[in-house]
Every structure is written in C-alpha cells, then in structure tokens.
Amino acid sequence: MITAGIDAGSRSTKVVLFDSAGSKVLATGLADQGIDQNGLASRLLDLACRDAGLLRGGVSCVVGTGYGRNALRFADSTVTEITCHARGVHFLAPEARTVIEIGGQDSKCISLEDGGRVRDFWMNDRCAAGSGRFLEIVADRLGVPLSDLGELGRASHAPATISSMCVVFAETEIIGLLAQGVAPPDIAAGVQNAIASRVAALIGRCVVEPVCFTGGVALQQGMVRALAAALACPIRTSPMPQYTGALGAAILAATRAHPAL
C-alpha cells in the first residue's frame, strides 16, 4: 500500500511517499511555502508520484501535518506535528528517546516511549529567536549563505553573547556587534549557542539519551555542536531531518487506512 504524508510547515512544504508493504520511502519533495498551500502541496504530491513512477490515484491515503495542515483540502485526515515527528524519527532511529526539532518558526522537544509513542513534549512557538528563521536573518546580516553559517561559527575563537530573547531585538544586537568590530565567526557561534541555550532551558532536565536532532536546522553542523555542548550529551542527526514530519504522517496514513498494520 502506498501512502503520502504532507508537512505544510511555516517555511516550507514537504511530501513523502511511503510503501508500507516494503517499509520504505519511495519519493520526497520540498518547496518554499507560498500563499496557496493546498495547490503547492498538491503539485508536490504529483511530482513525487511522477518520480516514483506512480499515478496519484495509486496513493491510498494522504495525511497532512504542520501549521498549514488544515489548508490541505485533499488530505484524508490531519495529525499534529508532534505525533508525526515522533513517528518519523522512530522509523529512522528507533533507539531515540528524545527528539529535538527546530524548524522555521519554532522549536520542539519530544520525549519518546518504546515504540515511538509520545511521553511528553515541550514547545516554543512564541518567538522566532529559537528557530531557523533567526539563522536566516543572521546569515543575511553576515553576508553568507545559510548553508555556510555552521562552518563560519566553527572558526570562532570568542563566541559573542547574544542576550536578547526576541528576534527583532537580537537582530539589532547583532548589528551593534558588527559596528563594534566583532568578527562574523564569533557572532555566528554566539547565535548558535543562544539557540542551543534556549532549547536546553525548554527541555530542562528531561533529556534521555539517545537524542535525535531533526528539522531543517539539523542540517547546520554548528547547531549540532552547540546543542551537544548545551545539553552535555551526544546529539545524533536524523537521516532525513527535513522530512521526519511528512514521513511520520505517511506512516500514520498507512495505519489509518489499515488499522491492523
């Protein structure tokens, strides 16, 4: 049985086609979020089906998740992103007991039980200062591609202190640091440390290893290092960090279509 999961996130939409019989991912798709979330997701699903050599009619069930999940009119059902990220990470890394997901506009920490069930979760969605959007702003201010920000921070010898808890004020603080002659690598490292500290404060003492880092920000090796330091434990990066929500939705679509699975 072929199912699809669609994660309509705040910054991008992701699609995963999943073969439940073979327990494998058939195709994926990703695009920046737009005004017409339903149309964008529908086109991504069509492209994923084409890449997998399938007709869209061959998809048995579609589950949507993410901020824009209720805009997906063609989805058969919707599930919260907490549940979907938990299920997706469990499929990719079944040994994981703590999930840290940092996306475009928020960060989440999820405690898992055996079988990938959610024991508890903590979420920061009130300020973009602990999210991928903050890193985008910083990269733009420092004049580097977002993909290079992690390695830029690696060259730091004295990470700057970023004290502002609001992304607007933090950006102003960074402008001030640049005016004072603080080196860009030190600013990049300071921002990564600030985000990691916020995540550590969010999750508190509830970290149980192994810890799996997912979401688009998990592609930043500088953030992996900063989280490991802030939490004082090893951090594993999900094999498909941008797609765990959509993957979890696709897996849940299979169980909803056939509860016996």
The pLDDT profile of the chain, 261 residues, written as one tens digit per residue, is 999 999 999 889 999 999 999 999 999 999 998 889 999 999 999 999 999 999 999 999 999 999 999 999 999 999 999 999 999 999 999 999 999 999 877 889 999 998 889 999 998 755 655 677 888 888 998 999 988 998 899 999 999 988 876 777 778 888 999 999 999 999 999 999 988 988 888 887 779 999 999 998 999 999 999 999 999 999 999 999 999 999 999 999 998 766 655
pLDDT of residue 125: 59
User: Of the candidates 246, 159, 143, 152, which has an alpha carbon nearest to the alpha carbon of residue 197?
Assistant: 159
Cα–Cα dist 124/201, whole Å:
10
Could you tell me what percentage of the chain is helix, strand and coil, using 3-state DSSP and rounding each to the nearest 5?
45, 20, 30
1-93+242-261 and 97-237 in the same fold: yes
User: Of the candidates 256, 261, 254, 246, which has an alpha carbon nearest to the alpha carbon of residue 64?
Assistant: 246
pLDDT of residue 83: 96
User: Of the candidates 255, 251, 256, which has an alpha carbon nearest to the alpha carbon of residue 90?
Assistant: 251
Cα–Cα dist 194/230, whole Å:
9
Span 75-90, pLDDT tens digits: 999 999 999 999 999 9
pLDDT of residue 50: 97
Span 101-145, pLDDT tens digits: 998 778 899 999 988 899 999 987 556 556 778 888 889 989 999
- Architecture of the domain defined by 97-237: 2-Layer Sandwich (3.30)
pLDDT of residue 10: 84
Alpha-carbon distance values, 79 to 70, 196, 206 (Å): 10, 27, 25
Rg of the chain over all Cα atoms, to the nearest angstrom: 19
Alpha-carbon distance values, 65 to 21, 82, 131, 175, 254 (Å): 22, 9, 19, 36, 15
Domain ranges of the chain: 1-93+242-261, 97-237
Residue type, 208: V
Model pTM score: 0.91
Q: Whole-angstrom distance between the N-terminal and C-terminal Cα of the chain?
A: 11
Give the CATH H-level superfamily of domain 1-93+242-261.
Answer: ATPase, nucleotide binding domain (3.30.420.40)
**Polymer length in residues for the chain:** 261
Cα–Cα dist 81/248, whole Å:
9
